[in-house]
């Protein structure tokens, strides 16, 4: 009986010594106060009391573990090294920015069209004609004298208009009175200004999207790294639980709990790696390419925030923000369409001169030249102008309501963005405190377990809590920087 007790005591002590290798290497290294291991033939009896739980323990390195999933996610084929490089890629490849610039070019083209309708025009026409059905002409071929009577003799001659013959004309027209054409020039310029302001709003939106995408990749990289650290820690727990079971100091339940913790950490690792791949793809789309793009390790969250603040300048008020200015200009543009519809009822006067010539041999003047003054009065067109006038009123009211809605949304966005900075700061502080508590709980739980107190369930729960706290703190860092950038760009213009 005594021999059996001695054997069990020796096994328990050996298991405790083996578990000392489980503690993380980040613990403070201090001289150990634990007694030396006694020989197997003598009872294990410590000569000094166990150290308090809050005293750091000197522990050997953790056991060596190996798993294919410990390898990091392969780096992206292309990486962004700075905010300026990201903006260069946006200028060269962004489809949204290209579309906005194309809209400006289209508005400029319409301005030229509006100007052309108020300027003189010169138009030339030419035609080659052959008439298949014509009437022959009768002409006097001579005179017949019979008995003192003179009778003309006629003969049929082919009509000179049968052809082929050529005709040409040159027409010059000068608008003398054209109120609608003159007013349309100003309307086209208003549309051009609206398109330019839309480009500025697109730049602000693109800058915010790029900044968020960059921060998302940096955060996903950090979360993936933390997931691997937690996964390695879970594998070390499993290795030591299996070793302890072999020494007789643990049960199969302890091993199963450790295995369950490993699978939970593995699932988190898989999800985190996929999130990293998605954020790289999102960054690629934001930069105007279809391939994933990563970030250089030298990029930091604070650096992204400072660079975004340099590229975008704060606006004085909500009215100066690009989208509000564009909506206000849209109201001006649509209001002009009402007056444009009214000008359709106005008469027009045009001076026109025509020079024409033909190859037909006739007795008429060839070529001919005339000058005309043409008065055009639109009396009735079936109701087309009235319908266009009512459509212009409806479009103007719609633009005004859109301006009101954008103002309200902008006010809420600015207030929410500024408030979110305070909320994100508090959330980050709470997450930092929770992470510190989780780390201390994990340390104390390990220390207790090494001293033979506590259960494997406590150990697994403490380790899982520390992993979650690390990831949560990384996410709160991301949210804080994101909130600062959103607060900056909520009331800013980005003339990059």
HEC states along 307-356?
A: HHHHHCEECCCHHHCHHHHHHHHHHHHHHHHHHHHHHHHCCEEEEEEEEE
Calpha distance 286→294 (Å, rounded): 12
pLDDT band (50, 70, 90) for residue 313? confident
Higher pLDDT, 83 or 39: 83
Quickly state the pLDDT bin for 36 (edges 50, 70, 90): very low
Please tell me the distance from the alpha carbon of residue 169 to that of residue 124, in angstroms, as a whole number: 6
**How confident is the model at residue 137, as a pLDDT?**
64
Residue 196: its pLDDT value, please?
A: 94
CB atoms within 10 A of CB 183: 17
Task: Please state, as a whole number, how many other Cβ atoms lie within 10 Å of the Cβ of residue 115.
Answer: 15
Q: Which range of residues forms the domain containing residue 216?
A: 68-126+165-493
Burial of 439 (0-12, 13-18, 19+ CB in 10 A): middle
Where does residue 69 rank: exposed (0-12), middle (13-18), buried (19+ CB within 10 A)?
A: middle
Q: What are the tens digits of pLDDT across the range 167-206?
A: 899 999 999 999 999 999 999 999 999 999 999 999 999 9
Which residues have a Cβ under 8 Å from the Cβ of 31 and sit 6 or more positions away? 58
> Does residue 180 fall inside a structural domain?
yes
Q: Collect all residues with Cβ–Cβ distance below 8 Å to 445 and sequence separation of at least 6.
A: 454, 458, 459, 462
Write the CB contacts of 332 (distance below 8 Å, at least 6 apart in sequence). 190
Residue 236 sits at the vertex; the CA angle it makes with 231 and 242, to the nearest 5 degrees, is: 125
State the pLDDT confidence band at 20, using cuts at 50, 70 and 90. Answer: very low
**Cα 274 → chain centroid:** 20
As a whole number of angstroms, the distance between CA 210 and CA 305 comes to 11
- Report the pLDDT value the prediction gives residue 143, as an integer from 0 to 100: 67
User: Is 19 part of a structural domain of the chain?
Assistant: no
pLDDT of residue 367: 87
User: In 377-472, where do the E strands start and end?
Assistant: none
Residue 449 lies in a domain: yes
Residue 49 domain flag: no
Residue 383, domain CATH: 1.20.1600.10
Instruction: Provide the domain count of the chain.
Output: 1
Virtual torsion, Cα 468, 474, 476, 480, nearest 10 deg: 180
Within a domain: residue 467? yes
pLDDT band at 62 (very low <50, low <70, confident <90, very high): low
Pairwise pLDDT comparison (63 vs 382), residue with the higher score? 382
pLDDT of residue 141: 61
Rounded to an integer, what distance in angstroms lies between the CA atom of residue 29 and that of residue 225?
Answer: 25
Tokens of 194: 């609206």
Residue 478 belongs to some domain of the structure: yes
What the block records as the tokens of 67 is 């798993």
Tell me if 324 is assigned to some domain: yes
* Domain annotation covers residue 433: yes
pLDDT band at 233 (very low <50, low <70, confident <90, very high): confident
What is residue 239's predicted lDDT score, i.e. its pLDDT? Answer: 87
Instruction: State mean pLDDT over 366-384.
Output: 90
Percent of the chain, pLDDT > 70?
A: 81
The answer to whether 295 touches 212, Cβ cutoff 8 Å, is no
Q: In this predicted structure, which of 144-148, 277-281, 323-327 has the lowest mean pLDDT?
A: 144-148
Q: How do strand 78-80 and strand 293-295 relate by DSSP bridges?
A: parallel
């Amino acid at each position: 009986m005594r021999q059996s007790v001695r054997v069990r005591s020796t096994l328990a002590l050996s298991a405790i010594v083996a578990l000392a290798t489980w503690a993380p290497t980040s613990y403070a290294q201090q001289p150990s106060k634990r007694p030396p291991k006694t020989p197997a033939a003598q009872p294990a009896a410590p000569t000094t009391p166990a150290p308090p739980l809050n005293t750091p323990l000197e522990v050997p390195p953790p056991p060596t573990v190996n798993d294919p999933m410990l390898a990091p996610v392969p780096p992206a084929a292309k990486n962004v090294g700075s905010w300026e490089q990201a903006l260069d890629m946006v200028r060269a490849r962004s489809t949204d920015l290209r579309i906005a610039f194309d809209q400006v070019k289209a508005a400029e083209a319409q301005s030229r069209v509006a100007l052309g309708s108020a300027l003189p025009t010169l138009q030339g026409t030419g035609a080659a004609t052959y008439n298949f059905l014509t009437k022959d002409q009768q002409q006097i071929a001579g005179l017949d004298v019979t008995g003192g009577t003179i009778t003309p003799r006629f003969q049929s001659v082919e009509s000179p208009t049968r052809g082929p013959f050529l005709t040409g004309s040159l027409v010059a027209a000068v608008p003398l009175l054209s109120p609608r054409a003159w007013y349309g020039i100003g309307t086209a310029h208003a549309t051009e200004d609206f398109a330019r302001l839309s480009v500025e709003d697109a730049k602000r939106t693109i800058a915010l999207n790029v900044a968020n995408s960059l921060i998302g990749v940096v955060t996903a990289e950090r979360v993936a790294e933390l997931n691997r650290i937690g996964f390695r820690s879970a594998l070390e727990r499993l290795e030591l639980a299996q070793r302890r079971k072999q020494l007789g100091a643990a049960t199969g339940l302890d091993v199963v709990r450790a295995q369950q913790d490993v699978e939970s950490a593995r699932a988190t690792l898989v999800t985190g790696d996929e999130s990293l791949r998605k954020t790289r793809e999102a960054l690629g789309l934001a930069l105007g390419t279809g391939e994933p793009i990563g970030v250089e390790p030298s990029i930091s969250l604070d650096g992204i925030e400072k660079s975004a603040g340099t590229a975008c300048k704060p606006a004085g008020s909500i009215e100066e923000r690009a989208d509000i200015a564009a909506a206000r200009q849209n109201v001006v543009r649509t209001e002009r369409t009402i007056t444009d519809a009214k000008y359709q009822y106005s008469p027009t006067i045009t001076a026109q001169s025509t020079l024409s010539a033909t190859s037909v041999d006739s007795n008429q003047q060839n070529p001919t030249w005339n000058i005309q003054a043409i008065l055009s009065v639109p009396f009735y067109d079936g109701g087309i102008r009235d319908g266009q006038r009512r459509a212009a009123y409806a479009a103007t009211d719609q633009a005004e309501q859109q301006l009101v809605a954008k103002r309200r949304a902008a006010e809420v966005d600015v207030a929410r963005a500024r408030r979110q900075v305070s909320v994100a700061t508090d959330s980050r502080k709470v997450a930092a405190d929770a992470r510190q508590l989780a780390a201390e709980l994990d340390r104390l739980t390990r220390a207790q377990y090494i001293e033979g107190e506590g259960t494997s369930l406590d150990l697994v729960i403490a380790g899982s809590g520390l992993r979650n706290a690390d990831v949560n703190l990384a996410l709160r860092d991301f949210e804080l920087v994101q909130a600062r950038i959103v607060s900056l760009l909520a009331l800013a213009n980005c003339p990059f």
